[in-house]
């Protein structure tokens, strides 16, 4: 009887450690990154300089729900999904690279 208990306990311990490892290495960092992205997107406002996931740099002209209009050049405005914004740039970045 005792041999069958130890044979059953070993795979269960392995499975428990595997799940713990996956949580620590994969799930927890992903949840933290999602929280950071949501905080960044909530800080968006008109006039903010941003870079889109595609590499397009522009200034936010309008925010309407889940869509953002960014001006990339004079009279050139792109409409993107809010989730397409990769990062917020420091003020003056666009002027410094022109």
pLDDT tens readout for residues 4-35: 666 777 888 899 999 999 999 999 999 999 99
pLDDT at 5: 67
Q: 3-class DSSP state for residue 30?
A: helix
Are residues 59 and 89 part of one domain? yes
Reduce the DSSP state of residue 87 to 3 states and report it.
strand
Give the separation between CA 34 and CA 56, rounded to whole angstroms.
22
The answer to whether residue 61 scores a pLDDT higher than 70 is yes
* Residue 50, Cβ density class (10 Å: 0-12 exposed, 13-18 middle, ≥19 buried): buried
Radius of gyration, alpha carbons of the chain: 23
Same domain, 34 and 74: no
Say whether both 17 and 37 belong to one domain. Answer: yes
User: What is the domain range of residue 32?
Assistant: 1-42
- For tokens 């008109």, name the residue: 46
Instruction: Verify that 23 and 67 share a domain, yes or no.
Output: no
């Amino acid at each position: 009887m005792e041999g069958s208990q130890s044979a059953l306990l070993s795979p269960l311990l392995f499975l428990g450690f595997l799940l713990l490892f996956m949580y620590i290495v994969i799930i927890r960092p992903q949840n933290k990154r999602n929280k950071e992205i949501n905080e960044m997107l909530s800080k968006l406002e008109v006039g903010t300089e941003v870079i889109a996931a595609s590499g397009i740099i522009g200034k936010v002209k309008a925010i309407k729900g889940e869509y953002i209009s960014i001006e990339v050049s004079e009279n050139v405005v792109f409409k993107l999904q809010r989730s397409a914004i990769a990062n917020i740039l420091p003020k003056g970045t666009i002027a410094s690279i022109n």
